[in-house]
Structures are given as C-alpha cells and as structure tokens.
Amino acid sequence: MPGPLADQTGCMKHKTFFWFILPTSLAMLLFIALPIVSVVMQSMYAPHEQVIVEVESCDIFGCKKSTMVDQDATREIREAEPLGRFVGTEIYTNRNHLATTEIGLAWQQATGFSEFVSALMNLPFYRALAFTLTFTFVVTPLVLILGFMIAVAVNSIPAPLRGPTIFLSLLPMIINTLVGSLILFWMVDARGIVGTLLQTLVGDPNLSMKASTPLTWVMLIVYGVWHAAPFAFVVYYAGLQTVPKDTLESAMMDGASRWEQIRYVIIPHLLPLTTFIALMQLMDNFRVFEPILSFNASAHATSLSYFIYDDLGGETRLLSSAAATSVLTIIGVAILLTPVLIRTWRDFGRK
Amino acid sequence: MNAILRSAVVSALMIAGSTTVYANCGISSGRVSIVGNEFPAIQTVAKGAMDCAGEGIEVKSNLTADHQKINVAGLQGNPAEYTSAIIANSSIVALMNEDVIRPLDDLVAKHGADIPKNQLITINGKVMAVAFMANAQHLTYRKDVLAELGIETPKSYEDMLAAAEKIRAAGKSEFPIGGAYKAGWNLAQEFVNMYIGHGGQFYKEGTAEPALNNDSGIAALNMMKELSAYMNPDYLTHDSNATGAEMEAGNVIMMNMWGSRVGKLQDDEGAPAEIASNIEVSGPLMVGDSGTPATTLWWDGWTVAKNISDADAEATFLAMKNGISPGILNDETMGQAVWMIEGYTPAPVNQGVFDSISSGAVAYPMLPYHGLMHTALGNELADFLTGKEDAAKTLADVEAAYATAAKEKGFLN
C-alpha cells in the first residue's frame, strides 16, 4: 500500500528530488561505480615483462647463483607505462579463468559428456564456480523454508516464552562467521564430537568428513543454512505480525485447516518478503568465503571469493587475476539477480 | 595564570625536555615499526628492538602469522607504514620483486661493523637483510615408543613407512605419522621437500619455465600418498600447529617438523610430562637415492623499508640490531631457535637443524617466480592425494597453473 511519501513523489519537484537523491548518488558513485571501473581497468592490464638478471646471492648457508628482478630496468618500463602492459581480455580467457582454449580442447577430445565435465571441473575457475552455484542454490531455498518454519513455530508459542526463544534462534547469526564455522570445524573433526558420533553410527572408524569432497560440501551447506536461517526467521516473524487478523478469522470460519490458512493466507501475504530474503540470500551465498577458510576446505571446495583471496594472499600477488575474477563475480551476481529484479519491476508496474 | 602555576608549568616542561635520554641503542629519534611472523624467536627479537623505545623514539611491532599478506602493502606506501619487515628466504623475494626494501651497505658501514659477515644476506653485491636464525624441518619422534618396539630412529621416509607399519601393527597408534599437508602453503612445502629429496629441479636450466612433470615429481607424489595412509584422515586440513597438537596428544609418533617449533612441544604446556619428555629430534629424512635430504634450509632475518626517511631507516637499523644483539639471549630464549648470534650455545632441541645444515640440505629456492610455483603446488596437489587424478596429470596441472600465473606476472612469454 503506498504511503504518504510515495503519494507525494509523483508531484515532488525535480529540484527537491535532485537534492534528496544527491548524497546517495555521490556515495554510490564513489564507493560502487568508481571501484568497479578501477577493477575492470586492472583486469585488462598486467605487470610488465620482468627483466631478470642472474646474480650471486650469499646467505648463511653459502653463496650460489640465483636470479632477481632488475629493478632499474623495470623502473624505466614502469614509468613509461605506469598502468602496466595492456592485455585486453587475455586474463579472462587464460587457463586460470574462463580457459577458452582448454575448454575447446576438452570438448574435442572428450569421448563423452561426463569426461568433458570432469575436464571442466579440473579447471580452477569452473571448480570454484560449481561450488559457488551449488552452495547458492541449495542454501537459499533451505534458508527460506527453515526460516519460515521457525517463524511460524515461534509465532504460535505462548507469549512469555517468545522472547528467550527468539534470542536463542538468533544466536547463529550473532556469532561471527569465522568463529561459528571454526566451532563446527572442531565438532566434525575425526576426533571431535560429531565426527566420532558419525564414525560410530556408520561403523567406520576411518570416516572423515574433512577428507571427503561430498561430505565437505554437505558440511559447508549445513553451516550456510545454520548461519543464515535466523535472518529469514526474523524477517518472516516481523511479517507474520502484519497478517490481517480478520482475513485469518474468516478463513477459519470457512473451515480452513491450519495448513490451508498458511497456504492460502499467510504465504501469499509474505510473498514480497520472500523476494526480499531471496535477493539478499542469493547475493550473500554467491560470495561464500569465510566457511571455506575456517574449515580449511580448499582441497575440496573453493568459491569465487576464495579464488580472489588466494590470488591476493600468496607470496606473489596476482592483482590482474584477482581483478578479472572480481569482474566475473559481479557479472555472475547481475545474472543471478536479474529474474528477481524483473519480477519486482513487474509487481511494481502492476500497482 | 598566576605566577606559581606558570613557573610550575615551565619547570615541568624543562624536566620533560631534559629527559631525552636514550636507551642503549644509540638512537636519538625516529620511528620504528616492525611486521613479521609470530613465533617465539621472532617475538624475542621484536622485544629486543622495542627496548630501544624512548623519548622521541617510537618502536612498535605487528607480529602475525598473516605477515606476508600485509608486508608488501605495508611497505609500499610513502612513507611506508612498516619500517622493517622480518622475513625468511622465501618471503624476501616478494619484497625484492616490488622493490620496497633498502640496501643496507651504508648503514652496515656506519653502525654494523660488529655484525658477523655471514649474517649479512648479500644479493648482487648489496646487503639486503640481516639474518639472525636458521631453521629447517627434520624428524621429530617419540623415543619411548620407538625404543619399546625396538625400532631404530628412521633415517629416510622409507624407514618411516616401515616404522609406521610396526607401530600400527603393535596397536600403539592408528595414525602414527604426522604430516602438515594442509592444502595450500603447507602441502606445497612438503612437496618441495620431497621433490628436492628425489633430486628434482623445478625449472628448465636458467629459465622460469616449469619442469617438474618428471619421474622425480611422480616419485615424490607417490611417497606423499604412501605416507598419508598413516596420517590422520583429516591430514589435508592439518598445518604444523595441528600436527604438533597431535603429537602432544600422543597420537602422532613421528613427523617432519620445524626446528623452531619443537621447543613448544617439549615444554610443560599441552602435553603430559611422559609424552613431552620423550619427544626427541633427529636429522632430516632422506628419500630415494639422490643423496640430498628431503628438506630445505631456511633463515629468518630483518630488512629495512625503502620508502622511509634516512633518519627512520637509521633508527630502524639500530633498533633491529639491538633486537639481535647478544643481550637478548638468556635461559629462556636460548633454545627458541638456532641463533646466528654471538654467545649462542646450542640446546639439544636445536640438533635437528644443525644436522640438516651439515647433511648437505639445500636452501629453499630464492627465485623471483618461485612464490607462484609454491601457490600453484598448494592449489593443485590435493587432487592427487584425494585420488581424483594421477600423479602425471596433477603435475601437468601444476605446470599449467604456474605458467598462466607467471605469464600474467611477466616472468614468462
């Protein structure tokens, strides 16, 4: 329902609107648009070709022949072209990113589809993308469902108990991601409480969640749901307070069961909130990162964000590679959000 | 302001002014800011440098395991945030590549006459760092368990496998070998050791072209896989902190461990006395028949940032020199490392590192592009250990990932 402010926007003077929106636009330009431009630039330039000289290096273990970068020679090249060497889309198409050549080869050589897929999964970018997408599309719906179920459950318990229950339900979100995943990491350790329990249940003393790729994925997804469900819960719980009482009562008079009330009254009423949570969760889950770090899971699962972190965290930083992955991530987020945004736009237009 | 108050203020200012005394480092003023790794020996050095703090002399330190993620950025600004980075022979390369550290020849000439020559790390004729300790990975084991089962101290990884089988068969431990095989830096480091032990070369002679997809590389990977059968199944998540904890808990009987970390295992924290007192060190392990031990030699040292004023550089040099002066050695700090400092008397715990040096082990490669190789190894090797692909395919992937990164960085065409 349009509020009083929305009523006025139609006749809000252009000048007023301009001043109203100016601070936001400036902030967006400064903190969103400019960094994106800078990242795109960075991804198309690579460091100059290094001038390597052979030198003698002496340390406490003796002297030997070694090589180093000739800084004087490099400085001249750098000053002539401070941005680096223009490589266009070379970084995007190289093996560590979209790997166009390698994919072409794999397509020609593969004898079957599964062989092609395994060749694809051997390339670091696609491996990261596969986990990122799986995580996003499994965690997001589970968070929505679980959050909704908790909200309905909490809403129907006696009022005095609600406060403490809400507090407890929010704990997973309050705990810092790194700390939360570290707790789970120790619990599922081969010598941890959950790890040992699983070994006993399955009857295999060598079972290790951290040593198995599928189990690692399951563990990360469970963590993702555990961490984000409270967010969906809080939003849905707030939404439940706005469900019109008379509609519910008339539904009850018409003999609607509790399930039918939820199905035909509550869920349609909360649909805009679902769009909102889905939007937030798609964005959040697409940049999954901290659990992979805390779980030391990189042998089994990497994500696009982890990929960027890895490029920036090595002894030799790969700035252009990190920039290219960032641009690809931005494109991924845009693609992911398009359907939801189109839907929102249509809903808005209908009103 | 009345006269009494005024004179009080004036005299207070005079007192403050007259207390510009110096710690015994010979620094009159300047800013010293240290970034470095976090382990006991480095904490001791940083503390030694901090003792120089005083009126007009600010000395602070940021010691963290993540030091190499921040030191390049922290030295790149002008003026640089950090005036000194404590580095090892692998990490000095990143600082040299970015040209952020300063040659120390002038400062050594002015203030460093008493620093022994062999501590000066000289690259292309210029002093770039001052080393203060040596380090290496070597065998660390439980002497009581080996003695009880009549097993000789392993000299090679082949011996270690045989010993592990006996220990397992005797029911002493299901997973007797500790391996710091955490995917990433640690896993790559273990491969570097094992590949060098097999006599392997990483690059085609005189170039940055990778050349490790060969018999030595395959043998190295196969040995790592055989060892992993005797490791805690979670080994791909274990770094040397985790393997150390496993040894303290009595689960791990033998492992390849950093000399600088063994002291922590033998002290009275963490492990019960009957375990701690039985943890012993021995020399580096051999593998195959190359004659080169499967380990690398390391030094830790300090550098001075390039983008700082001469006064700050001088203050940093003097403070760091104080940090590695004989005065920092006492009963507590003596066993923390194999110090390159005068007055150092080796403790039994340091014997492993000395054995590594005397056994002909080679230093970790100090090449401008080797960091990229290490990263590629850390990312790709897990696929072999988890059984996703064979050794040759994994090594081909390492070469491809490295070559792509080296091309981006301008090391390869």
| pLDDT reported for residue A2 | 43
Which residue of chain B has the CA closest to A43?
Answer: B408
Residue A343 φ/ψ region, left for φ over 0, alpha for ψ in the -120 to 50 degree band, beta for the rest: alpha
Rounded Cα distance, B236 and B269, in Å: 26
| pLDDT reported for residue B268 | 85
Tell me, yes or no, whether A334 and A221 share the same domain. yes
Phi and psi at residue B351, to the nearest 5°: -60, -35
Minimum-distance CB partner of B91 among A66, A210, A315: A315
Count of other CB atoms within 10 angstroms of residue A149? 14
Q: Are B384 and B391 in contact (CB under 8 A)?
A: yes
Rounded Cα distance, B225 and B385, in Å: 6
Rounded Cα distance, A177 and A266, in Å: 32
Which residue of chain A has the CA closest to B366?
Answer: A66
Quick check: is A13 in a domain?
Answer: no
Quick check: is A35 in a domain?
Answer: no
Rounded Cα distance, B282 and B139, in Å: 5
Q: Specify the residue for token string 């009957």.
A: B274
Digit-by-digit pLDDT tens for chain B (413 residues) are: 455 555 555 454 444 443 443 456 888 889 999 999 988 899 999 999 999 998 888 999 999 988 988 999 999 999 999 999 999 999 999 999 999 999 999 999 999 998 998 899 999 999 999 999 999 999 999 999 999 999 999 999 999 999 999 999 999 999 999 999 999 999 999 999 999 999 999 999 889 999 999 999 999 999 999 999 999 999 999 999 999 999 999 999 999 999 988 988 998 888 899 999 999 999 999 999 999 999 999 999 999 999 999 999 999 999 999 999 999 999 888 888 899 998 899 888 899 999 999 999 999 998 999 999 999 999 999 999 999 999 999 999 999 999 999 999 999 98
Phi and psi at residue A65, to the nearest 5°: -75, 140
Rounded Cα distance, B160 and B152, in Å: 10
Q: Assess whether the previous peptide bond of A205 is cis (omega < 30° from 0).
A: no
Minimum-distance CB partner of B368 among A67, A85, A312: A67
Tell me, yes or no, whether A160 and A202 share the same domain. yes
pLDDT above 60 for A125: yes
Q: Are A124 and A96 in contact (CB under 8 A)?
A: yes
Rounded Cα distance, B143 and B274, in Å: 11
Which residue of chain A has the CA closest to B119?
Answer: A60
Rounded Cα distance, A187 and A176, in Å: 17
Residue range(s) defining the domain that contains residue A112: 93-122
Quick check: is A3 in a domain?
Answer: no
**Domain boundary pick from A58, A86, A114:** A86
Which residue of chain A has the CA closest to B246?
Answer: A191
Best CA proximity match to A127, nearest among A269, A251, A301: A301
Q: What kind and span of H or E run contains A53?
A: strand A52-59
Tell me, yes or no, whether A227 and A336 share the same domain. yes
Name the minimum distance, in Å, from the CA of A29 to any CA of chain B.
25
- How many structural domains are present in chain A? 3
Best CA proximity match to B405, nearest among A178, A161, A318: A318
**Domain boundary pick from A105, A122, A139:** A122
| pLDDT reported for residue B13 | 45
Q: B205 contacts in A (CB within 8 Å)?
A: none
CB contact under 8 A, B69 and A295: no
Tell me, yes or no, whether A247 and A283 share the same domain. yes
pLDDT confidence bin for A347, thresholds 50/70/90: confident
Tell me, yes or no, whether A252 and A324 share the same domain. yes
Interface of A with B in 183-202 (CB under 8 A): 189-191
Q: Are B410 and A46 in contact (CB under 8 A)?
A: yes
Mutate one of A51, A60, A125, A303 to test the B interface: name it (highest B CB count within 10 A).
Answer: A60
Indicate the DSSP class of residue A153: H
Q: HEC states along chain B?
A: CCHHHHHHHHHHHHHHHHCCCCCCCCCCCEEEEEEECCCHHHHHHHHHHHCCCECCEEEEEEECCCHHHHHHHHHHCCCCCCCEEEEECCCHHHHHHCCCECCCHHHHHHHCCCCCHHHEEEECCEEEEEEEEEEEEEEEEEHHHHHHCCCCCCCEHHHHHHHHHHHHHCCCCCCCEECCCCCCHHHHHHHHHHHHHCCCCCECCCCCCECCCCHHHHHHHHHHHHHHCCCCCCHHHCCHHHHHHHHHCCCCCEEEEEHHHHHHHHCCCCCCHHHHCCEEECCCCECCCCCCCCCEEEEEEECCECCCCHHHHHHHHHHHHHHCCHHHCCCCCHHHCEECCCCCCCCHHHHHHHHHHHCCCEECCCCCCHHHHHHHHHHHCHHHHCCCCCHHHHHHHHHHHHHHHHHHHCCCC
Q: Which domains does chain B have, with CATH numbers?
A: 3-134+298-352 (3.40.190.10), 136-297+360-409 (3.40.190.10)
Which residue of chain B has the CA closest to A121?
Answer: B388
Mutate one of A53, A100, A315 to test the B interface: name it (highest B CB count within 10 A).
Answer: A315
Q: Are B150 and B257 in contact (CB under 8 A)?
A: no
Tell me, yes or no, whether A222 and A172 share the same domain. yes
Tell me, yes or no, whether A240 and A266 share the same domain. yes
| pLDDT reported for residue B7 | 53
Quick check: is A29 in a domain?
Answer: no
CATH number at residue A182: 1.10.3720.10
Best CA proximity match to B291, nearest among B186, B199, B410, B381: B199
- In one-letter notation, the amino acid at residue B15 is I
Sign of CA dihedral B343, B345, B349, B354: positive
Rounded Cα distance, A293 and A182, in Å: 9
pLDDT confidence bin for A12, thresholds 50/70/90: low
Q: Specify the residue for token string 């350790």.
A: A189
Interface of A with B in 18-57 (CB under 8 A): 46-50, 52-57
Residues whose CB is less than 8 angstroms from the CB of residue A338 and which lie 6 or more positions away in sequence, other chains included: none
Note whether B207 contacts A: Cβ–Cβ < 8 A: no
- The per-residue DSSP string of A71-103 comes to HHHHHHHHHHSTT-EE-TTHHHHSTTTT-HHHH
- Mean pLDDT over A284-299 rounds to 92
Note whether B366 contacts A: Cβ–Cβ < 8 A: yes
Tell me, yes or no, whether A294 and A151 share the same domain. yes
Tell me, yes or no, whether A102 and A148 share the same domain. no
CB contact under 8 A, A68 and B357: no
Q: Are B395 and B218 in contact (CB under 8 A)?
A: yes
Tell me, yes or no, whether A63 and A155 share the same domain. no
Rounded Cα distance, B403 and A330, in Å: 26
The ipTM is 0.87
Quick check: is A10 in a domain?
Answer: no
The pair of structure tokens assigned to A75 is 């400085």
Q: A83 contacts in B (CB within 8 Å)?
A: none
- In one-letter notation, the amino acid at residue A281 is Q
Q: What is the mean pLDDT of chain A?
A: 89
Quick check: is A20 in a domain?
Answer: no
Quick check: is A6 in a domain?
Answer: no
* Helix intervals (H) in chain A: 4-9, 14-28, 34-44, 71-80, 90-93, 100-109, 113-121, 124-155, 159-174, 177-187, 193-202, 213-240, 245-253, 258-261, 267-269, 271-286, 290-294, 304-313, 319-350
The pair of structure tokens assigned to B352 is 């492993």
| pLDDT reported for residue B1 | 43
Rounded Cα distance, B362 and B296, in Å: 5
Q: A310 contacts in B (CB within 8 Å)?
A: 375, 379
Tell me, yes or no, whether A103 and A177 share the same domain. no
Interface of B with A in 108-127 (CB under 8 A): 118-125
Q: Specify the residue for token string 């005068």.
A: B342
CB contact under 8 A, A61 and B297: yes
Note whether A259 contacts B: Cβ–Cβ < 8 A: no
| pLDDT reported for residue A11 | 58
Minimum-distance CB partner of A68 among B90, B118, B124: B124
Q: B69 contacts in A (CB within 8 Å)?
A: 312-313
Size of the A and B interface in Cβ pairs below 8 Å:
161
Minimum-distance CB partner of B410 among A46, A95, A213: A46
Quick check: is A22 in a domain?
Answer: no
- The per-residue DSSP string of A103-135 comes to HHHHHHH-SSHHHHHHHHHTSHHHHHHHHHHHH
pLDDT confidence bin for A247, thresholds 50/70/90: confident
Phi and psi at residue B328, to the nearest 5°: -80, -15
Rounded Cα distance, B329 and B324, in Å: 9
Rounded Cα distance, B178 and B29, in Å: 49
Note whether B167 contacts A: Cβ–Cβ < 8 A: no
Count of other CB atoms within 10 angstroms of residue B213? 18
Give A65-72 contacts, CB < 8 A, sequence gap 24+. Answer: A66/B123, A66/B366, A66/B367, A67/B367, A67/B368, A68/B96, A68/B123, A68/B124, A68/B368, A69/B96, A69/B97, A69/B99, A69/B368, A71/B99
Q: Specify the residue for token string 């403070």.
A: B319
| pLDDT reported for residue B5 | 52
Name the minimum distance, in Å, from the CA of B13 to any CA of chain A.
46
Q: Are B280 and B140 in contact (CB under 8 A)?
A: yes
Which residue of chain A has the CA closest to B367?
Answer: A67
Note whether B236 contacts A: Cβ–Cβ < 8 A: yes
**Domain boundary pick from A122, A139, A166:** A122
Q: Specify the residue for token string 């690398």.
A: B296
Tell me, yes or no, whether A115 and A213 share the same domain. no
Best CA proximity match to B404, nearest among B365, B375, B381, B363: B375
Sign of CA dihedral A155, A160, A165, A168: positive
Q: B405 contacts in A (CB within 8 Å)?
A: 96, 316, 318, 321
| pLDDT reported for residue B6 | 54
